[in-house]
Amino acid sequence: MSQLSIAWCRDTLLPQEEPPEGQGGIVHWLRSRLFNSLWSSLLTLIVLMLFTALANAVFPWLANSVWQADSLGECRSILDGQPGACWGVIRERWPQLVFGFYPQAAYWRPLMAFGLLFVALGPILFQRVPSKLARFSVVYPGLAFWLIWGGSLWLGVLAYVGLALALLAFTLSRRLGMGLALVIAMMVAGAWWLRGLGPVAEMLEQVVAMRLVPVSSRDLGGFLLSFVVGVSGIAMSLPLGILLALGRRSSLPLIRLMSVTFIEFVRGVPLITLLFTGSLLLNYFLPPGTSFDLILRVIIMVTIFSTAYMAEVIRGGLAALPQGQTEAAQALGLDYWKAQRLVIMPQALKICIPMIVSTFIGLFKDTTLVVFIGLLDPIALSTAIRASTEWQGIYWELFLFIGSVFFVFCYGMSRYSIHLERRLKTDHH
């Protein structure tokens, strides 16, 4: 009986061929995407008409822009009755919009702090950046504070000494229990910052003086103020939100009740109310003569507000994980904190990436609310510019410039979240 050789699958690939006629090119794309039905064609035509009308109204205004003008009157005389944008206000007032009333001779300090921010974020956001730079990421907050506000460098250095003492106290007292060790660590750090930091800094300053000219918080404004409040709130709300989410899911009734009460209370109060509380009411609860910087109070309130929302976002990611992940971590012999750090939290954060970035974007845009408590954010400065005699009556140019800067940074965060989702995607269908 002869054996037949039957090929069950092809061992060579067919050569690539051109698509059938009418199934490729721009005409097919337009027909399949924009004109594939009556309603789709109608909506496409309506949108095209709207875009055409918008372009006809905006393009001549932008094309006839004036940059070399020192006042709105001079700009209008150059335009001679023709419609056109007067960008001279941006050319003349951009330092005020960016830095507020920060001393002009010290512009290099916030610019250096802004540039070093990307160096500090490199090892956190990107895999290809050397991990050794993570040490600089730890040092950066104190360095940025010193660059922007000035004063003695020893204050920032000794603040890190307080963190080191807290870590040492936590390590030595960990056998007493995680909660008690955290309380001891916070007490040690607080005692150092309140009692030891100031005298030791003055003594070291007399030995080796390392100072920059101090800049008052009232001089900070514009986008510099928005970046300081926004970046500080973003950096602190994520770890605090993780702890609060774990507290809400804790098996200890007291910790769970405190976490739930904090989250629900803060989420039920508008941010502007917290800002007024930080700027007006907080001083009543402090000892007489205590000076508490207004921007620091705003950062604390913005962080508290964002932390409550971040905790709910992360709790949703934790709830989305199957119970088998926790059981698998327990089967490996991992304790609670190792299981959260190595197994549970990485997966939960990956699930929550879109909502985490959305919360960050909302927080960054909400920094403009500080205008209601007297801080000079870009919106407040634009109002002051429009009230001046040179630029009284100008509107669109200032708001378009401010909106464009916010859009660039918010869009950048959005694109990075998409990149991070693709990089961490491990499921293939």
The pLDDT tens digits of the residues spanning 197-239 come to 888 888 888 888 788 899 988 889 899 999 999 999 999 999 9
425/296: higher pLDDT: 296
pLDDT at 80: 81
Distance CA 275, CA 193 (A): 25
Residue 428 confidence (pLDDT) above 60: no
d(CA 49, CA 137): 50
Can you give the pLDDT at residue 166?
87
Burial code (b: 16+ CB inside 10 Å, e: under 16) for 252-280 equals eeeeeeebeebbeebeeeebeebbeebbe
Statement: residue 27 has pLDDT above 80: no
Q: How far is the C-alpha of 382 from the C-alpha of 402, rounded, in Å? A: 9
Per-residue model confidence (pLDDT) at position 224: 93
What pLDDT score was predicted for residue 429?
45
- Other Cβ atoms less than 10 A from the Cβ of 377: the count is 24
Domains belonging to the chain, first-starting first, are 37-99 (no CATH), 106-424 (1.10.3720.10)
What the block records as the tokens of 427 is 């499921």
Amino acid identity, position 235: A
**What tens digit of pLDDT does each residue of 145-154 get?**
999 998 888 8
Is the pLDDT higher at 368 or at 286?
A: 368
Cβ neighbours of residue 305 under 8 Å, at least 6 residues apart? 266, 271, 274, 363
Query: What Rg, from alpha-carbon coordinates, does the chain have?
Result: 29
- Pairwise CA distance, residues 241 & 313, whole Å: 9
Q: What is the pLDDT of residue 194?
A: 80
CB 123 within 8 A of CB 134: yes
Partners of residue 10 on adjacent β-strands? none
Per-residue pLDDT tens digits for 63-74: 888 888 888 888
Q: What is the pLDDT of residues 30-45, one digit of tens each?
A: 877 888 888 888 999 9
CA angle 409/102/363 to nearest 5° reads 30
Q: Give the CB-side neighbour count of residue 335, counting CA atoms within 13 A.
A: 3
- Report the distance separating Cα 79 and Cα 60, nearest Å: 12
Q: Which residues contact 378 (CB under 8 A, 6 or more apart)?
A: 97, 222, 223, 226, 368, 402, 405
Least confident of 3-12, 116-125, 165-174, 247-256: 3-12
pLDDT of residue 363: 92
Q: What is the pLDDT of residue 333?
A: 82
Structure tokens at 345: 């939290």
